Amino acid sequence: MLEPSMSTGQEPARRSDRLVRARLGLAGAAVAVLFYCAALTPSLLPRAWYLQGIVAGLTATIGYGAGATLGALVRLMWRRRFPRATRVAWWALLAVAVLGGLTMLALGTKWQQELRARLDMEPLATYDIVRIVGVSVLTFVILLGIARLLRLGIRRLARLLRRRVRVPRPIAYGVGLTVVTYLTVGFVDGFLVDNLLAAADRTASLANGRTTAGIVAPRTALRSGSPMSAAPWHSLGLQGREFVGTGPTVDQLTAFARRPAREPVRLYAGLETAESAQARAQVVVREMDRAGAFDRAVIGVVTPTGTGWVDHNVTDALEYMYGGDTALVSMQYSYLPSWISFLADQSKVSESATALITAVHARWSELPAATRPKLLLFGESLGSFGTETAFANSAAMTSGADGILLVGPPFANPIRQALLDTRDPGSPIWDPVFTAGTVEFTQHPPDLRTPAGARPPAVVYLQNSSDPIVWWSPELIFQRPAWLDHPRGPDVSPDMHWYPLVTFWQTAVDQVFAINVPAGHGHVYGSGVADGWAALAPPPGWSAADTVRLRQLLDRAG
């Protein structure tokens, strides 16, 4: 009679316990809850509800994996089991998960609303909390399911080796792990990544062949793509055609300058203009000679973003400042977005920027120093990385042109990183101070309005303290960043904290919509480039009032 009573009294509990453990491990679940709550804390930029859900689900999955691994190691070293304590711990974890999750969801919503107010953005809807939870749970279930399938594959392979080949258990599991990891990495890298990149390449290639509505081939000899140009219209690509087919008119330039203006020179070489970066650079230089670029007051060499895009604020600002007495040149190195170009092949932007800057500088250096035009360089985002890699160090960069403007530089920029390491003690990394030198960093472009008589900088960096493109780096996985030290940037939440792994993913996801914020925040610099140009190379008689007037004009133009 004793045996049946034990079966009816304790066996259901054991089965229930085994069932729970088969679904989730206690250590993994505990760390997953901790990571989930941490993922709801604020990051650099406000996130849409679905992004917040994906980040929370992904981060919880990472936490579960870390906790499950730790739990497995503990069980391997300490084989004692405590079923009753485990059941109590599960109930306690459930209570903590519910109460903690609800508390963090409420706080997370509050932080998101405060961050949106800080950046002058629309608030989240109240019901977005429900959608965040739904997306996060779905993300966690899908990712955990994939991980469980891989684990099942390892176990099946190990069992097969033990039964058929009589391989010892540790070796069998080691072989199983190696084989499954190799196949998984091969599938992801050789199939998913390659096919996704191929699909992105095809899509970008098709987009590169289109022309934005309303833009037509120029008829003037001062533009590439014209009948007189050595760079045919069809070879310029989508962004190249927009570069040479847009810009302020002579009448608009005259109205702003309050004096007769000239028609600006704009020259561009697309990927189809010539086969190599060096050949394209030589085409641009020949175009410059043909169009009289070296007779202008200013030559601007622009390293574009991954697709070949050039910010119209940058080009228009220079043309307005100099009344059209400018020659702006650029060259395409890819038609993929910057983040894909950065991951797939950074050498393309380096090779292209170096080829163009070197070729233009060589031709410019042949002119008499007293009469040659100002040589200005510009790079934004990945383009700033390319511009930097054309120089060996900061000394070569500051002496290599009359002014260099770099906007939204990513973490990989070698010269910027070296400069930040030498900033004055006590100055924040997002607004570094250099007592000696001719390099300026700023989050607030109006600060560049140098008083009369002060020496202008040779290089200006614009970097928003909330720009994830600037501040994301692999070191965020295990190292607290200096940009979270105090004092913080004006648009960084005081409630943001660093958590291992969590902050890395948060900032990585912030990059997805880094340009979907108002100007002056995230990766949007807008008309602030006018202050950069005015600090570097103001035309004669230029004043701070002119800079304000120019920024207002650029803001109205959108």
Strands (E) located in 46-180: none
Q: Which of 370, 272, 287 is nearest to 328 (CA)?
A: 287
Calculate the alpha carbon distances from 111 to 105, 114, 495 in Å: 10, 5, 8
- This prediction's pTM: 0.86
Are 441 and 463 contacting, i.e. CB atoms less than 8 angstroms apart?
A: yes
Locate tokens 């970066």: which residue?
277
pLDDT at site 196:
67
Are 432 and 421 contacting, i.e. CB atoms less than 8 angstroms apart?
A: no
Q: Which residues does the chain have with pLDDT short of 50? A: 1-22
- Largest interatomic CA distance in the chain: 110
Q: Rounded distance, CA 533 to CA 297, Å?
A: 14
Q: How many residues does the chain have?
A: 558
What is the three-state SS of 420-450? HHCCCCCCCCCCCCCCCCCEEEECCHHHHCC
**96: which residues sit within 8 A by CB, 6+ positions away?**
33
pLDDT at site 357:
97
DSSP for 479-500, written as a single string:
S--GGGSSSPPTTS-TT----T
pLDDT at site 8:
43
Q: Rounded distance, CA 143 to CA 141, Å?
A: 6
Are 262 and 324 contacting, i.e. CB atoms less than 8 angstroms apart?
A: yes
Q: Which of 36, 48, 38 is nearest to 514 (CA)?
A: 48
pLDDT at site 36:
92
pLDDT at site 95:
92
| Pair of tokens at residue 438 | 């001719």
What separation, in Å, do the N-terminal and C-terminal C-alpha atoms of the chain show? 86
Phi, psi (degrees; rounded to nearest 5) at 521: -135, 160
